[in-house]
């Protein structure tokens, strides 16, 4: 039994129609409940739900503060490699894009770590393209061993792996794995992923199951906003989350909301998500799950990120570079995508504090395992 079995029970078009048929009465009913279910979640993310944005945001604010207090945790990505064997048509790392490729060596990794530590970060997200030969499990294991003495928490956003690989990395101190399905629309998934191992929809879909079996401390989910109908994809993400929480109940979970950003290549979003709709979505997830960690990256612009402090978000990246070696030697030709919020971590922290919130640089240590 895996989430694949659950996913097969749902039809994309029927789910879309169900969401779009939700009424104002359905939204109002959901907002009166102490704990909502998936049908209520459909109502909150429906077109009808857009008219209740203020009520949803206020409830999201109360629920977030009740569980997490007035805190925002900061993290930063460290891009180790932009080499990739996949042909994802929406990504700057697409193996067919004519960009420079580079994978950091040990000395370069430590140089990046030194700069990142000087900014105050303790939570580090390691990112690579999906190239299992040049940045596979051996390379990731070596990087974790190299960086583990310097940071309180190490997370990864890398190519999905087999269960023995995750067991191996977990023993060396891996804390969190982020794996985005990109879209749960199986029939159209192959259009966006025409080549490479990522073209295997089911293998990627079952990755969180392998993570749960490996006792990874935290699993991060999400879909790429802009590929398919964001409401339907978000429902399937919530369905996936609910299944995982029931099956691997010792594990913590987070949700991210990557919206497509300018990158090498010509792909344009099929279903753009505006700021109002993203607020609706974040609020709906918080109302659906009060324990969920919600992350907002530097893909979003400063004004939007400022306004989301206190409205559901618990984690933010800051000072991000999206190319390998970007902190020591910035090189725009190596980037995965353009960031929108280019403020320094100190500036972001200042905004958080001016909003009456505490910036959390560290809330985890390996000794807690």
pLDDT for residue 369 is more than 60: no
pLDDT for residue 126 is more than 60: yes
CATH number at residue 94: 3.20.20.70
pLDDT, tens digit (0-9, with 9 covering 90-100), for 201-216: 999 999 999 999 999 9
- What integer is the mean pLDDT of 194-205? 96
DSSP state for residue 367 in the 8-state scheme = G
Looking at the structure of the chain, the number of domains it has is: 1
Residue 196 CB neighbour total at 10 angstroms = 18
Which distant-in-sequence residues (6+ apart) come within 8 Å of 368 by Cβ? Answer: none
Q: How far apart are CA 4 and CA 202, in angstroms?
A: 7
- Confidence band for 41, pLDDT divided at 50, 70 and 90: very high
- What integer is the mean pLDDT of 100-106? 95
- For 246-269, what is the HEC assignment? HHCCCCEEEEECCECCCCCCCCCC
- What integer is the mean pLDDT of 94-113? 94
Q: What is the pLDDT of residue 335?
A: 75
Q: What is the pLDDT of residue 1?
A: 82
pLDDT for residue 18 is more than 80: yes
Say what percent of the chain tops pLDDT 70: 96
Say what percent of the chain tops pLDDT 90: 86
Does the predicted TM-score (pTM) go above 0.85? yes
**CA 183-239-257 angle, 5° bins:** 50
- What integer is the mean pLDDT of 142-155? 96
pLDDT, tens digit (0-9, with 9 covering 90-100), for 49-68: 999 999 999 999 999 999 99
Residue (of 300, 297, 299, 281) closest to 289 by Cα position: 281
Question: By residue range, what is the domain housing residue 172?
Answer: 3-368
| Residue 292: C-alpha distances to residues 238, 287, 336 (Å) | 11, 10, 27
Tokens of 243: 């299944």
Q: What is the pLDDT of residue 326?
A: 94
Q: Calculate the average pLDDT of the chain.
A: 94
DSSP state for residue 23 in the 8-state scheme = -
- What integer is the mean pLDDT of 25-35? 97
* Torsion on CA atoms 271, 277, 280, 281, rounded to nearest 10: 30
Q: What is the pLDDT of residue 331?
A: 80
Pairing relationship of beta strands 71-81 and 315-317 according to DSSP bridges: parallel
Q: What is the pLDDT of residue 269?
A: 82
pLDDT, tens digit (0-9, with 9 covering 90-100), for 282-332: 999 999 999 999 999 999 999 999 999 999 999 999 999 999 999 998 887
Residue 212 CB neighbour total at 10 angstroms = 22
Q: How far apart are CA 189 and CA 180, in angstroms?
A: 13
Backbone angles phi, psi at 280, to 5 degrees: -60, -45
User: Of all helices (H) and strands (E), which one includes residue 219?
Assistant: strand 218-221
User: Of all helices (H) and strands (E), which one includes residue 5?
Assistant: helix 3-7
Residue whose structure tokens are 């972001």:
348
Check: CB of residue 151 under 8 Å from CB of residue 107.
no
110-120: string of b/e by CB count within 10 Å (b at 16+)? ebbbeebeebb
* Range name among 9-18, 62-71, 261-270 with the lowest pLDDT average: 261-270
Which distant-in-sequence residues (6+ apart) come within 8 Å of 54 by Cβ? Answer: none
- Confidence band for 234, pLDDT divided at 50, 70 and 90: very high
Dmax (CA) of the chain: 60
């Amino acid at each position: 039994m895996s989430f694949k079995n659950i996913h097969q029970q749902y039809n994309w078009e029927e789910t879309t129609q169900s969401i779009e048929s939700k009424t104002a009465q359905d939204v109002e009913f959901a907002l009166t409940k102490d704990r909502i279910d998936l049908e209520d979640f459909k109502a909150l993310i429906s077109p009808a739900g857009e008219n209740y944005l203020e009520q949803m945001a206020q409830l999201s604010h109360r629920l977030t503060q009740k569980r997490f207090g007035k805190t925002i945790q900061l993290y930063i990505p460290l891009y180790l490699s932009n080499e990739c064997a996949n042909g994802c048509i929406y990504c700057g790392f697409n193996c067919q894009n004519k960009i420079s490729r580079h994978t950091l060596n040990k000395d370069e990794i430590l140089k990046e770590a030194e700069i990142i530590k000087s900014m105050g970060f303790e939570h580090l997200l390691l990112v690579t393209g999906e190239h299992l030969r040049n940045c596979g499990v051996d390379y990731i294991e070596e990087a974790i061993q190299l960086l583990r003495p310097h940071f309180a928490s190490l997370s990864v956003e890398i190519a999905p792996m087999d269960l023995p690989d995750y067991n191996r990395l977990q023993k060396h101190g891996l804390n969190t794995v982020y794996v985005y399905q990109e879209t749960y629309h199986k029939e159209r998934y192959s259009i966006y992923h025409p080549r490479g191992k990522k073209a295997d929809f089911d293998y990627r879909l079952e990755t969180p199951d392998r993570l749960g079996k490996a006792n990874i401390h935290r699993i991060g989910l999400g879909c790429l906003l802009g590929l398919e109908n964001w409401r339907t994809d978000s429902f399937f993400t919530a369905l996936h989350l609910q299944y995982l929480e029931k099956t691997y109940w010792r594990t913590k979970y987070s949700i991210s909301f990557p919206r497509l950003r300018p990158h090498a290549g010509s792909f344009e979003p099929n279903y753009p998500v505006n700021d109002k709709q993203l607020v609706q979505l974040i609020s709906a997830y918080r109302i659906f799950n009060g324990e969920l960690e919600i992350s907002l990256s530097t893909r979003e612009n400063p004004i939007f990120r400022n306004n989301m402090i206190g409205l559901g978000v618990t984690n933010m990246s800051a000072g991000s570079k999206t190319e390998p070696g970007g902190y020591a030697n910035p090189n725009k030709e190596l980037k995965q995508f353009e960031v929108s919020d280019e403020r320094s971590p100190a500036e972001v922290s200042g905004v958080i504090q001016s909003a009456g919130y505490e910036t959390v640089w560290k809330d985890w240590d390996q000794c807690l395992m």
